[in-house]
Structure 1
Amino acid sequence: MAATRRQPRVRRRARSPKPPRVALRRRLLMVLMASALVATVGGAFYRQVVENDFLKTEGERRHLRLSEIPARRGMIFDRHGEPLAVSTPVTTYWADPRVFAAHEHQTDAVARALNLDAERLRERFESNRGRAFMYLKRRVHPREAEALDALIAREGIQGIGTETEYRRFYPSAEVFGHVLGFTDIEDQGQEGLERAFEAQLSARPGLRRVIQDGRRTQVAELELVRLPRDGRDLTVSLDRRLQFIAYRELKRAVAEHKALGGSAVILDVQSGEILAMVNQPGYNPNAVREGGVDHRRNRALTDVFEPGSTVKPFIVLAALELSLVGPHTTIDTRPGVMTVGRNRVRDVRDFGVLDTTGVITRSSNIGVVKLAQRMDRSVIWQVYDRVGFGSRTDSGFPGESPGVLPHFRRWSQFDQAVLSFGYGLSTTALQLAQSYAVLAADGVKRPVTLIKRDGPPPPGVRVLGAQSTRQVRAMMETVVSSPQGTARRAAIEGYRVAGKTGTSKKSAGRQGYTGNRYQAVFAGMVPVDNPRFVMVVMIDEPRGASHFGGQVAAPVFARVMENAVRLYNVPPDDPAGSLLLVGTAEVAQ
């Protein structure tokens, strides 16, 4: 086998590498760098020169905000310029939950400083974790603000900021609470005069356009959009001094007689201004408002009651106007009980034969019913209507009740009887005070007001005869001055007082009248010849040793009015100043 011949391996010559084209690369790199430079410079030029305004506006829009300039709510003053409601600047705290997240371990300390529930605050942070703003607490008390500021400085907490708002403060607290009312967190009136005069008292905050950074810090102020406008101040007719005295004495009487509550109203006869209006139980508008609306309503204007024997002077006045009787006309009330239809009317005892004045002095139900039976029922209704029963006083207070005065066409014979001694109709304390102001003003009715009158008092409207009202006032004086009067505890040393007591059983709805629940009332005026003040006192359900108006309500009148006549420099009209039989047993009416 022949061996195969190996073919010789032919080696190829390796190609020599081409030299790099450095110059080309340099030129290419220079071109690229020049292009980048041109693009950068061009872009910068375009943005800084061509699009400058557009981009600036777009940037500002992302941080442009309308910031409020706080404005002060109008103040409320009493008739002598004493502040009753003021707005003070306070601090409101807000947080940026995104920034505060790094300080979550301080949540409990922040809650303690602001007097908040720690668990609730933690939940709020969690629910707002992705947001840049949330309120921590608005209108913070200065002590709480001081505590939180110290905590922030000590621990270096970030993500918490402040702004200024106004907080309403009531220096006299519960004494004026029912009349003034209060404002909410937005500083808007919710009750009382704060609500009634919201348009006048409310402030309009100003607006300015500002730039803020991501932490809500103001970087620049661009323009003033709207000037702030403070609310207008309000001067009320109330006298701070009388209000305190009336509140103190009413509160004492309610506690002494273990009553559910009470109301008292003082009117200036000459001007129709309300000088004091107080209620029990009270509430403090500065404190957290708990317990519902029951304690917050102004009972002197919203709650009605049957006035009882306090309306008897109007029946006697109607009889005088018709010339049916004179002050000394005799009326036989024996034997202390009478039948009207299927019902009976009783006196507390047999008063025998009385004159017209004695009917008022002894508060005889039978005597006044006999007078009412001699008149057409429309006459009685007209007298009640003229002096203000069954209609609002137009004091301007929200929620005022008109009371109830049934029309005479719906009266039965017994209705006419009971309406003559204060059952079957209902009134507020202010309505009753207004009706007595008509007696005090010689038959002229003036509108009542809670706002101080700067000019002369309104002339009023004559609704009753001057002579008959003066005669009735003289009869009512015997209620206080006579040994047989039912309100001798209303006497004031040095002054002649006229008034009338009322003690009415409370209605239990369909169950009729209760046997042990009463409302004790006294309505009076001082001094008799030219009355300056009228005051009504109502004590609701006294449960002490007595429940009669002369023993429960009349002493409140005396203690308050003896201060009022001195504060207003009313000259004494009884120089002898004798107090007849004060402290002895009183007739129960």
Structure 2
Amino acid sequence: MNRVEKNRIIFVFTCFCLFFLLVLGKAFKVQLIDSSDLIVRANSQFLREVTVYPKRGNIYDRMGHPLALNVQTYSIFAIPKTADYKLDIYKKLSKIIPELSYKEMVSTIKKRKRFTWLGRKLRLTKDQVEEVKELRGIFIEGTPERVYPNHELLSQVIGFVGLDNKGLSGLEYMFDKELKGNPVTLKYTIDNKGRPIKFESHQSVTAQAKDINLTIDKDIQSMAEKYLKEAVLKHNADKGGVGVIDASTGEILAIANYPSFDPNDVRGSNPEDRKLSFAIEPFEPGSTFKAFTVGSALENKVAKLESTYYAEQGRMRVDNHWIKEAETHEKFEWISVADILRFSSNVGTTKIAFDLKFPRFKQTIKELNFGNKTGIEVPGESRGIFTEADNVTPLSLSNISFGQGIAVTGVQMLAAYAAIANGGTYIRPTLIKRDPNVVTVSELEPENENQLQKRHTVFSKKTTDDLTKALTAAVEKGTGKAAQIPHFQIAGKTATAQRVDRNGGYKGYVAGFVGYPVNVDNRFVIVVYIDNPKTGGYYGGAVAGPVFKNLAEYILYKNKDISRLAEHEDNDYDLKKVKTNIDIVQVKESSTRSLTPGIVPNMMGLDKITTSNIGTKLNLQMLHKGMGVVSSQFPAAGTPVTEDTVVKLEYTPPTYE
């Protein structure tokens, strides 16, 4: 082999090596460097997918009554690029489902080439679903739609979802992740002309949607909203709020604002009405705050209930300002701490605060969580407004002592008064029923571990007993007489707070009442406020007090406390008198009863359990309507019973004359 041939072989070999290296480099680039991008581009050419969320978790009250449910609806979509089989298919679809306009569908698909919704959350019959499935190129997917069966009931707490079932407000928003679970992914493959050749649904089951059980009692919630609405309308007020808390557990039994809205028709509602102002809009509490000033003084042994202060005959000068009583005709001189609460003396409360000093007063206020979020499961909860300064001017201390210069939420007041009602323990309020036997959502992440601790002691039992005694006197002999309930001791405090306007001044009033029954097994606290009442008065006792009374009466009846009252031999009332009074309530319009076979008995004033027992004993056919005690019956008592006799009983909540 000569030199020339040898060089040719080397040249050809070198060329092959370079070419091989070039191919190898290209393969390296394609398979390693550009692989991710190329896979995405490849999939985009023949794979399509869309995400649809599965059945959302339900929301129930403490007794298992549904508050938010799902109903089966259907969503229909098409791939406009596959419309080469003409538009007749859309005409057929519009005949099957009249709600889908042929013209609107054609107008829509002409603007789109890819996946296009033709109808969302349609309620179809089984026959319609089957007919749609037979249409070539039209796809249908079952889609759960959120429904709120009780309409306005608890709507500001529950919130609502959007078209894609994503929570947009309230608990629906706060616990959206838990309620919606994992999404359903709809995947389909297309050919080189964009036509779908394979369609499938895939469901991940690693994280199913969860239900939520609330602490709310649906019946109490309903009555709370009813009485609140009546008061707001009666007094031509801007709005109002009400809340009920179990003092021993911190569970919220009812919470509402009026006006409200129907989450089934969000578009037709006012955005302002969708907010739970009770937790997110602070207000100056006024005289209801005086209980904490007195409580702090008692706890720090600065004063006793029998301690007396000179009330300056109704006027006291502080920092060149006059502190006056709410009622200008009040000319108190020497007045006890108990009577300061009883008659709601601003001057007396100021004197107590001056003896107490701000640092100790502030410590009590912070322990009651004013100025911090309570941790209740409400998006956007407010901290309220309270100074972080170590000390304040005498005028500021005076104002804060009787509920001005500080802003609180209704939830904060509920939790703080619950600490008085339960013997001194502050318990973080909650809307989520945390029963170990019930699947619940995860705990909130606390912003501050100390701030959101579940419970801690604020007052001693002696302090809360003294406060309860003084607050009871405020209802029985003071400003809260309108909240009295026969047979029950009620501890409570009224407020007629000046209302802060948008310009920073004061205009109008916020009428408030906070209270709880004393002589019951399980104490509950009710907070009521009516914002800017314009007719029928504006004092807390006259405007908010009746709402408390009506709601408390209902709860006491529902809990059967009126029946238990006579069983306690250690109560402060004359037992014989109480039993007689209970009979007056239960045996309305009748003084005697007889159970004679063959004769319709007198059922008036009896509850459903008692009437059912009587019906069983006398073998009567009975028809029950409503709840409460019997307010009317047919046929009348004394009527002979025949084989066709049906005793019809109508029940209504009891009233106390």
**TM bracket, shorter-chain basis:** 0.7 to 0.9
Deviation string 1:195-225 (CA, Å, 9 cap, x unpaired) is 222222122134576667999888676x968
Q: Pick from 352, 355, 370 the counterpart of residue 332 of structure 2.
A: 352
Q: Is the 8 A contact 1:85 1:171 kept in 2?
A: yes
> Larger Cα Rg: Structure 1 or Structure 2?
1
Distance in 2 separating the partners of 1:119 and 1:66: 27
Q: Pick from 498, 502, 511 the counterpart of residue 520 of structure 1.
A: 511
Decide which moves more: 501-510 or 299-308: 501-510
Which segments of 5 or more consecutive residues in structure 2 lack a partner in the other structure? Answer: 1-41, 438-452, 566-570, 583-657
1:123-142 map, 5 Å: 123-128=107-112, 131=113, 133-140=115-122, 142=123
CA positional deviation for 1:248 = 1.1
Structure 1 counterpart SS, 2:152 = helix
Structure 1 counterpart SS, 2:370 = coil
Distance in 2 separating the partners of 1:565 and 1:100: 70
Structure 2 counterpart SS, 1:335 = helix
Distance in 2 separating the partners of 1:524 and 1:461: 21
Structure 2 counterpart SS, 1:390 = coil
Distance in 1 separating the partners of 2:84 and 2:304: 87
Q: Is the 8 A contact 2:488 2:518 kept in 1?
A: yes
Is structure 2 residue 494 aligned with structure 1 residue 501? yes
CA positional deviation for 1:67 = 7.5
Decide which moves more: 357-366 or 100-109: 100-109
Structure 1 counterpart SS, 2:242 = strand
Change (3 A) 1:65 1:505: same
Structure 2 counterpart SS, 1:520 = strand
* Aligned counterpart, 2:630: none
* Aligned counterpart, 1:320: 298
Q: Is the 8 A contact 2:244 2:255 kept in 1?
A: yes
Change (3 A) 1:210 1:477: same
Distance in 2 separating the partners of 1:122 and 1:385: 64
Change (3 A) 1:328 1:83: same
Structure 1 counterpart SS, 2:141 = strand
Q: Is the 8 A contact 1:77 1:85 kept in 2?
A: yes
Decide which moves more: 496-505 or 558-567: 558-567
Change (3 A) 1:121 1:236: same
Q: Pick from 153, 165, 181 the counterpart of residue 143 of structure 2.
A: 165
Distance in 1 separating the partners of 2:387 and 2:210: 42
Deviation string 1:54-73 (CA, Å, 9 cap, x unpaired) is xxxxx999876658786321
Deviation string 1:132-160 (CA, Å, 9 cap, x unpaired) is 531123112x2xx469949x89xx99865
Change (3 A) 1:260 1:114: farther
Is structure 2 residue 253 aligned with structure 1 residue 275? yes
Work out the percentage of aligned pairs sharing the same amino acid: 28
Q: Is the 8 A contact 2:89 2:135 kept in 1?
A: no
Matched letter for residue 232 of structure 1: K
Change (3 A) 1:196 1:345: same
Matched letter for residue 235 of structure 1: N
1:307-456 map, 5 Å: 307-347=285-325, 348=327, 349-353=329-333, 354-454=335-435
Change (3 A) 1:357 1:224: closer
Is structure 2 residue 161 aligned with structure 1 residue 183? yes
Distance in 1 separating the partners of 2:238 and 2:436: 40
1:18-29 map, 5 Å: none
1:554-569 map, 5 Å: 554-569=545-560
Change (3 A) 1:107 1:419: farther
* Aligned counterpart, 2:282: 304
1:194-343 map, 5 Å: 194-207=172-185, 226-227=204-205, 229-291=207-269, 293-343=271-321
Deviation string 1:452-477 (CA, Å, 9 cap, x unpaired) is 13259x98311112201110111000
Structure with the greater relative contact order (CA < 8 A, sep ≥ 6): 1 or 2?
1
Structure 1 counterpart SS, 2:313 = coil
CA positional deviation for 1:251 = 1.1
Distance in 2 separating the partners of 1:189 and 1:538: 29
Distance in 2 separating the partners of 1:311 and 1:389: 11
Q: Is the 8 A contact 1:327 1:357 kept in 2?
A: yes
Deviation string 1:106-134 (CA, Å, 9 cap, x unpaired) is 69978994388x98766534422xx2531
Q: What's the TM-score once normalised by structure 2's chain length?
A: 0.70
Is structure 2 residue 68 aligned with structure 1 residue 85? yes
Change (3 A) 1:250 1:121: farther
Distance in 2 separating the partners of 1:225 and 1:508: 53
Distance in 1 separating the partners of 2:88 and 2:58: 41
Q: What's the TM-score once normalised by structure 1's chain length?
A: 0.77
Distance in 1 separating the partners of 2:276 and 2:52: 35
Q: Is the 8 A contact 2:245 2:253 kept in 1?
A: yes
State the Cα RMSD in Å.
Answer: 3.6
Q: Is the 8 A contact 1:372 1:380 kept in 2?
A: yes
Q: Pick from 110, 114, 123 the counterpart of residue 99 of structure 2.
A: 114
Q: Is the 8 A contact 2:188 2:196 kept in 1?
A: no
Structure 2 counterpart SS, 1:480 = helix
Matched letter for residue 175 of structure 1: L
Change (3 A) 1:469 1:234: same
CA positional deviation for 1:531 = 5.5
Q: Is the 8 A contact 2:311 2:332 kept in 1?
A: yes
Change (3 A) 1:119 1:561: farther
* Aligned counterpart, 1:20: none
Distance in 1 separating the partners of 2:59 and 2:90: 44
Size of the aligned set, in residue pairs, is: 507
Change (3 A) 1:444 1:210: same
Which segments of 5 or more consecutive residues in structure 1 lack a partner in the other structure? Answer: 1-58, 580-589
Deviation string 1:392-429 (CA, Å, 9 cap, x unpaired) is 10113210000011135352111111111100000000
